[in-house]
Structure formats: structure tokens, C-alpha cells
Structure 1
Amino acid sequence: MKKNQSILLQSMLFSTLAASAGLASAQQAPAAPAITIYTAGSMSGALGEITRQYTSQTGQPVQLVSGPAGALLDKIEHSAKADIFVSANMAHPQRLTAEGKASSSVVFARNRVCVSARPDVGLTTGNLLDKLLDPNVKIGTSTPKSDPGGDYAWELFAKAGTVRSGATQILEAKAQQLVGGAVAPQVPGGQNPVKYFMETRRVDVFIGYCSSHSPKPDTTFTQVELPPELAISADYGMTVLVSKQDAATHDAAYRLAMYLMSPAAQRVLTSYGFTAVARQ
């Protein structure tokens, strides 16, 4: 009887020690490496909220690097470390796919081009082209090629030329490329560049996206939709980079990419003014 009790006690002790060793091993295990997303600046607010939710649910840390998508593409092509790339167009991620640097590209979200103005400009959808062509109205844009937002502005100018003769040349000459380029005017620290340039009257209107960096858009300025004949939509592309990291990191990037297409994530996008592409 005593022998059986001794065996039982030894067994219980072994189990306790094994469990303790397992707990210690888990506590000493390195934290999961962060998944790095290179994202267009216009998507940074929404992605920030989505990835915070994801980290809270899974424990997976996520690092966001935001900026003009064209500039981010250039960095990735020159070996910058990124696991997922979200661009304000499809051309940039598709280019990485074609180069063998990324998996297939998918449409992650949709956006539209809008024009923001100070209230005193009196901008409406109905008078938008007249206001843009007004010699007294100064226009701000992002920088073409470096930033898809600038490319969309130039697309708007091209459409304007089909509506009114000579409009394209006038608008291109007037446009001040203030953000998204390698060289841009200085902005005080912590200031939103677009807001700063309009408040200081460097420009009167700014051609950008209808989405916002916050679920509660800034109502300081008037934002108007383009008229149907000038309307421009923007498809945001996403791709997972062909990782040189370990398989676990690569798998984690794919899991995060799948989450970004989930109904929960897509609902967040709509609250920031984007159009969801996945069924909610």
C-alpha cells in the first residue's frame, strides 16, 4: 500500500514539475515578431484602428509605416522590410506581384476623390469646375507619381478638359503640389498639412479623398463630391510581400491579411468613409 502511495506521489510530483517547466518555457519564449504594414497615408487612421483590434484579439503586434504609396513602393523595391503593402491604387501592388516580390494583389477597399475648401470659397458640387478655374482660387494637390492622390488630381484635370476646352492646361498650371513629394513645403510639427495650407491661405481648395483619418471628420472645411462627369474612384490594393523571414512570420502576415478582408475590419473602413469590398 505504501509502495503504491509512493508511486502515486512521485507521479503527481513529476506532473507538477512538468507543468511548471512548461509554464516557465512559455514565459521565456520570445514575443511574436511584429508584422509590418506599409500603408498609404490616407489609410493609416482606419488601419490603425483595425490593427489595434487585431492585436487585442490575437496578441500579434503590428507596426504601421505610412506615407505616399509611390514612395513606399520605391522603398520596398530597394529592400525595405515590409510584410504587407496597402496602396491607394492597384498599380503599385500589382507591380510588386509582377516583379515576384509579392503574392497576388487584391482590392482591399474603395475610395472617391473629393475637393475640400474653406467655407468662404462657397464650393459646391454644382459650381466645382467654375471655382477650380477661377483665377482667384488657389488649388492644392498631392504629388503625382510619388502619391496616387496626385495622380487622381491629374486624372480630374484631364476629365475637366473633356468638359471644358482648355481646362486641363489651366488646372495643371494652377495646381500646387504641396504634399506627398520628396520635397514639400515645411509644416509646423504636429500640424495636418492640408489643414495648415488652407488655414494659412496658401491654397483655397485641396483635391484629395472623400475618406477621413478619423471616424469623426474635421468639419472646419467644406468637402464636396465631384459632379458625375468628373467623378473618380480609387481602388486600394493590398498584397503580402514574399517574405525572407521565417515561415511563422510569413504565415502570420497572411493571417493578418485575411483579417483585413473580414467583415469586422471592413466595417471599420466604412466608418472612415471608405467603401467596403467584402460582404459585411
Structure 2
Amino acid sequence: MLTMQGLKTNVRAVLTALIVAAAALATPAMAAEKVTVFAAASLKNALDAVNDAWQQQSGHAVTASYAASSALAKQIEAGAPADIFISADLAWMDYVAGKKLIREDSRSTLLGNRLVLVAPVSDAKPVEIGQGFDLKAQLAGGKLAMGAVDSVPAGKYGKAALEKLGVWSSVEKDVAGAENVRAALLLVSKGEAPLGIVYETDAAADPSVKIVGTFPESSHPPIVYPIAILSESTHPDAAAYLDFVRSPAAKPLFEAQGFTVLAK
């Protein structure tokens, strides 16, 4: 028959065993946590390749969430857990920076891109993009697919270009605004819109569309992708991942998708 002292000893032994078991279970879970990256939708193909390379080199995986930079910035503001943010424009990175949500010393401008006009490959005719070009006639009653012009960076760049070229007012009512640039690309790819304004890298990622014109770089603000570690990140691999994304090893993977890698 157990004495009171023996019972207490057994209880302590059981509790100790439970704590050890819980620690053993928790340790792999902690080790399995992945660096979480919030990235502009246009980065998907290139960043997937970079993330695969990072995993092969480091042995650690990455979770990437792709959406419009505007949507990601709002999610970050609302407290969504993430370690890295890559925006498709300066404005949304500035937005989260203004909320003290990034580590300023980790911020840099990573990539550049170009703005193009695309059409379904089955009906692709060259369009000479210039001052006052007749985009309305090119649409032939159809819709112009773009990212939402009040929030999505590709849409904002596109609207700026059309305004600079003097044709925005003629096509404004024909715009089919999409939640991100890849959604706009899909409208063209599926033949639901005869033309769309996307990044050159998006066009390269979809064989169902073809570039029919390239917007002059002088017609819109420079297309750049800033990157930074988020203030709330506590992941031990966040800085190493950021260094890898900016390293010579990642450069050809971005360039293979048509991005311009900018100096740090």
C-alpha cells in the first residue's frame, strides 16, 4: 500500500515524465516552423524557384503567401503573422513602414520590372504604344484587364501610363479591375478580355498570352520591388533568408523570369 510520501513521489515522477514528453513533442514542431513570406502576386514563379533553392541549401522550408501588395499590407497591419514582406511598389512598403511594421535597417529595393500590354496568343496583333494611341479601338468593345487601379500596384502603374499617354479617359469605363495582376492576366489567358496590362514577367509565365506592346518607362513611375523583415518577426532564419534572396545565388532565378535584379 502506497504511503502519502510515496504517492507524492509517484505524482512528481508522472508530472516530470509528462513535461519531458511535451518538450520532446514541442521541439520538432518548433524546428519545423517555416519562414513566412508575404509577396506580390507577380513574384510567384520566380520566388517559388528561389524558395526551392533556399530549402536545398539551408534544409529549411518557406511558406509563401501571394496576393496584391495592397491586400498583404492590410493583412500585416491587421496582425497577420509573417516574417518577410516583398511589395510590388514603394507605396505599400512605405505604408507598412509608416505603421512601424518593418525593420528599417533590413529594407532594400530588390527587383525591377516592365509594364506590357498582352492579348490571347490566338488573337495577338502588335499594338504601337505611344502618345494618344487608339486603345479604345483595339479593345473592339471588349474589356481591358488590369489590377484594381486604386490599390493594386500593376493597376496603379497602368493607369499612370494611360494618363500620361492621354488615353485613360477613353478606356476608363472599359476597365475590368482585378484583385491582383495574376487575376488580370487570367482574364486575358481565358479569353474573357481581349487585352490586359500586366508586368512583363507575368506574360512570360503564361504561354496562353503574348506581349503585343511595351509601355515606355517614361510613362509611369519606376516599377520596383522593395523587401524587408517585419518588426514582429522572431524567426531565427529571417535574416539568413533575406540575405539569400539578395544573394548571387538567387539572381539568375529572378532573371530567368524576366526581373531586373537591382543593386542592394
Distance across 2 between alignment mates of 1:194 and 1:91 = 21
Distance across 2 between alignment mates of 1:118 and 1:49 = 26
Alignment gaps of 5+ in structure 1: 1-24, 162-166, 182-191
1:240 alignment partner in structure 2: 229
* Equivalent pair of 2:83/2:233 in contact (CA under 8 Å): no
* Equivalent pair of 2:36/2:84 in contact (CA under 8 Å): yes
Cα deviation, 1:35-89, whole Å, max 9, x if unaligned, reads: 1000001001111110111111111221001111100100000000010000100
- C-alpha root-mean-square deviation of aligned residues, in Å? 2.8
The alpha carbon displacement at 1:147 in A equals 1.5
Distance across 2 between alignment mates of 1:95 and 1:170 = 31
2:59 alignment partner in structure 1: 59
* Equivalent pair of 2:70/2:151 in contact (CA under 8 Å): yes
* Equivalent pair of 2:147/2:184 in contact (CA under 8 Å): no
Distance across 2 between alignment mates of 1:160 and 1:198 = 22
How many aligned positions are there? 234
- Equivalent positions of 1:32-47 (< 5 A) are 32-47=32-47
Q: Is residue 153 from structure 1 mapped to residue 141 from structure 2 by the alignment?
A: no
1:203 alignment partner in structure 2: 193
* TM-score scaled by length of structure 1: 0.74
1:74 alignment partner in structure 2: 74
Percent identity reads 22
1:138 alignment partner in structure 2: 143
- The SS at the match of 2:250 is helix
C-alpha spacing 1:27/1:200, structure 2 compared with 1 (3 Å): closer
1:10 alignment partner in structure 2: none
Cα deviation, 1:136-188, whole Å, max 9, x if unaligned, reads: 15311111243111111111121122xxxxx221122221113439xxxxxxx
- The SS at the match of 1:80 is coil
Cα deviation, 1:231-258, whole Å, max 9, x if unaligned, reads: 653100111001253xxx1x41011111
The alpha carbon displacement at 1:97 in A equals 2.0
2:10 alignment partner in structure 1: none
2:254 alignment partner in structure 1: 269
* Equivalent pair of 1:123/1:222 in contact (CA under 8 Å): no
* Equivalent pair of 1:107/1:235 in contact (CA under 8 Å): yes
Distance across 2 between alignment mates of 1:268 and 1:200 = 27
Distance across 2 between alignment mates of 1:98 and 1:254 = 21
2:15 alignment partner in structure 1: none
Distance across 2 between alignment mates of 1:100 and 1:133 = 43
Q: Is residue 101 from structure 1 mapped to residue 105 from structure 2 by the alignment?
A: no
1:260 alignment partner in structure 2: 245
Alignment gaps of 5+ in structure 2: 1-22
* Equivalent pair of 1:38/1:82 in contact (CA under 8 Å): yes
Distance across 2 between alignment mates of 1:180 and 1:217 = 15
Distance across 2 between alignment mates of 1:160 and 1:53 = 41
Q: Is residue 221 from structure 1 mapped to residue 209 from structure 2 by the alignment?
A: yes
Distance across 1 between alignment mates of 2:195 and 2:76 = 32
